[in-house]
Structure 1
Amino acid sequence: MSLTKVRRTMFDIEQRFNTRYQYPYVFLSDEEFSDEFKRSVQFMAGGLNGSRVEFGLVDRQDWRYPEWIDVDRAERAAEAWADANDYVADTPGWRHMVRYWAGPFAKHPLLQKYKYMWRLEPGSHYACDMDYDPILHMQTNGLSYGFSVSTEEMTDTVPTLFTSVVEYLLRNKASLANNSLTWILDKKKEYNRCHFLTNFEIVDLDFLRSDAYQGLFAHLDRSGGIYYERWTDASVRSMAVALLLEQHQVRWFEDIGYRHDALQSCPQSMERQMRCHCDPSKSTHLLPMSCSSRWTAARSIDISML
């Protein structure tokens, strides 16, 4: 975890938002945090008089190949995908990380006292002053998931993801009566690869800890697609949101200026622009690959129609 990237993102969040609200930070890692790291992030959070900062270790059982995974097959698949795409970040540790974010993390002991989580990706940039509390907004309006950027996933990362989801649907029709499946399906009811980028998400942890979510995760986890293909926490989370939540339970935070690498969301209204430092013409949702605006039209589909 890059300390420089962490500090940059914390600086943005503190300046734009958290100096007023004083929410705590929780850092989780598969390795011990150094004293330098702890002191540095505590300072960014306002020192001893600032926001609370907590540090936790990931359970080793949650950061390794599950027992049902063929390790040789998984490593061959990762190497082949990396060679084909010149993608250097594809390592066993990276796969363990996305699996952890897809399911197990919500059960970490440090998170049990919290209902909502705002995920802060190291290196992300927040470009607008926030004149309201998004977490309180979620709670007040009964929302379960909030996102900033949504795009179509690359085809070769999820070739059998929806097939695995349909297998799950056939076994759990009653529990999935209300859904937002039109968001991930085109007019021919074929998978369109839409997914939320989870490097920004505000989520009701009770939703992630629910039997419905954990049941879906367990099914997808057992199928091995995280290791044999390249399913990410983003693709798994997006499937769960589309299957288990209705459109009105999800909020697109278009008014929060956000950027991670080349993908970004910048408010379009002039009123919001007065509090921002970003270019609205570069917002990802203006591109054909974006799925953000499509969410507002998401509707339920009778599973028997698939």
Structure 2
Amino acid sequence: MPTPLPPHPSTPLANGCFVFITRTMSLTKVRRTMFDIEQRFNNRYRYPYIFLSEQEFSDEFKRSVQFMAGGLNGSRVEFGLVNKDEWRYPGWIDVDRAEKAAEAWADANDYVADRAEWRHMVRYWAGPFAKHPLLQKYKYMWRLEPGSHYTCDMEYDPILYMQANQYSYGFSVSTKEMPDTIPTLFFSLVKYLRQNKASLVANNNSLTWILDEKREYNRCHLLTNFEIVDLDFLRSNAYQDLFAFLDQSGGIYYERWTDTSVRSLAVALLLGPHQVRWFDDIGYRHDALENCPQGVERQMRCHCDPSKSTHLLPMSCSDRWNTSRSIDISKL
């Protein structure tokens, strides 16, 4: 049998928090994810939770998630409202064109989530959320997605690990995005660099992760439904400038770019390989995609099938981090 996990650590925690962006209607999914993260990790650490929404949370929601976080003697829980100006069509967006694009995608793919509200949410995750007042006192964020599962006990603190090793971004799953969702995404990145923006970007990058041998875009994406991030990176001028440029291009509304699209380009362009951590030892599942740790010893604390781990599939890009490196961006 595996040895018992250590009690609450005596060393100080990192300055981090969990973040949900959700609604009252998703309470059941939120509770499911909180149950996992508490049982697998946070009942020994007590990192705080922040819940953000463009709508007021119900009293039942607030009581329920506080209970899941350990009650009055458990983790601190805070609730915040999203700035309404950051959860609507930006002024430069042609609303009719955006709505027709959303309808066309939904008709072709039977994807009912592709409504205006979904677009507003992914745009908010892509950039504005990092400036929310409740997050300003924190350096690290661990994103939690309602309905996602954590399938392994964690024997160490991933946030403290990020801090100790000076990582700026941590992920669990990565895949190749469908080409019809991002037809102009990489073109927009090249355009950004060519419009006198290269001076904002150092040649400390991981661009070979998203480029093949011919230096053509391979559509590799980091799935942001699990991410542990240094918020200083997301709040930096370089990140926010890139986000603003991509936002102005309209791809979030006219195509189907998501926060995953924006974050993946930003990580590849603005961070070196040594600043990014693939948490291959954290058991995580969201819908059909998952990371299940390999090896007998790791499996002792897991409830997942390692043969179903997404990184074993041809569409995965996770292993590419082992060989990613910087390139001269002036040659793009």
Structure 2 residue 117 is matched with structure 1 residue 97: no
Residue pairs, 1:169-184, within 5 angstroms: 169-170=193-194, 171-176=196-201, 177-184=203-210
Structure 2 equivalent of residue 247 of structure 1: 273
- The corresponding residue for 1:195 is 221
Structure 1 position 67 matched with structure 2 position 91: yes
Alignment of 1:8 onto 2:32: yes
CA distance in 2, matches of 1:159, 1:141: 36
CA RMSD of aligned residues (A): 0.7
CA distance in 2, matches of 1:303, 1:22: 42
Structure 1: which 4+ aligned runs deviate by more than 3 Å?
none
Tell me which residue corresponds to 2:71: 47
- Quick one: distance in 1 between partners of 2:151 and 2:101? 38
Q: Which residue of 2 aligns with 1:271?
A: 297
Q: Structure 1 residue 120 and structure 2 residue 144: aligned?
A: yes
Amino acid in structure 2 at the alignment position of 1:156: D
Q: CA deviation at 1:172?
A: 2.0
The reply to whether residue 295 of structure 1 matches residue 321 of structure 2 is: yes
Alpha-carbon distance between aligned partners in 1 of 2:180 and 2:270, rounded to the nearest angstrom: 25
Aligned amino acid, residue 77 of structure 1: A
| SS at 1:132 equivalent | coil
Matched, 1:222 2:248: yes
One of 42, 51, 60 as aligned partner of 1:27? 51
Give CA deviations for 1:66-95 in whole Å, capped at 9, x if unaligned: 000000000011111111111111000000
Matched letter for residue 151 of structure 1: T
For residues 237-274 of structure 1, what are the alpha-carbon distances to aligned partners after superposition, in whole Å with 9 as ceiling and x for unaligned? Answer: 00000000000100000100000000000000211111
How far does the alpha carbon of each residue in 1:120-146 deviate from its partner, in whole angstroms, 9 at most, with x for none?
Answer: 001000011001000000000000000
Aligned length in residues: 306
Partner SS for 1:264: strand
Task: Report the AA paired with residue 53 of structure 2.
Answer: S
Distance of 1:204 and 1:168 partners within structure 2: 24
Partner residue of 2:19?
Answer: none
Q: Deviations over 1:10-48 (max 9, x none)?
A: 000000000111000000000000000000000000110
Q: 2:100 aligns with which of 60, 76, 83?
A: 76
3-state SS in 2 of match to 1:56: strand
* SS of equivalent to 1:172: helix
Structure 1 alignment gaps of length 5 or more: none
Residue by residue over 1:116-173, the C-alpha shift from the partner in whole angstroms, topping out at 9 and shown as x without a partner, is 0000001000011001000000000000000000000010110000011001112222
Shift of 1:60: 0.2
Q: Distance in 1 between matches of 2:146 and 2:330?
A: 42
Query: Which of 234, 237, 246 lines up with 1:211 in the alignment?
Result: 237
Q: One-letter code of the match for 1:107?
A: K
Q: Distance in 1 between matches of 2:261 and 2:323?
A: 20
The letter of the residue matching 2:156 is Y
Counterpart in the other structure of 1:238? 264
Q: For the residues of structure 2 that align with 1:26 and 1:269, how far apart are their CA atoms?
A: 34
**Between the two proteins, what is the percent identity of the paired residues?**
82
Take 1:187 and 1:208, find their aligned partners in 2: how far apart are those partners?
29
Corresponding residue for 1:57?
A: 81
> Alpha-carbon deviations, 1:87-112, whole Å to 9, x = none?
11100000000000000000000000
Task: State the SS of the aligned residue for 2:41.
Answer: helix
Q: What is the TM-score when the length of structure 1 is the normalising length?
A: 0.99
Letter in 2 for 1:63: W
Give structure 2 stretches of 5+ with no counterpart.
1-22
Alignment correspondent of 1:156? 180
Give, in whole Å, the separation in 2 of the partners of 1:52 and 1:304. Answer: 47
What's 2:161 paired with? Answer: 137
Which of 147, 169, 176 aligns to 2:171? It is: 147
Tell me, what secondary structure is at the counterpart of 2:256? coil
Residue 181 of structure 1 aligns with an amino acid whose one-letter code is: L
Partner SS state of residue 192, structure 2: helix
Report the Cα offset of residue 178 of structure 1: 1.4
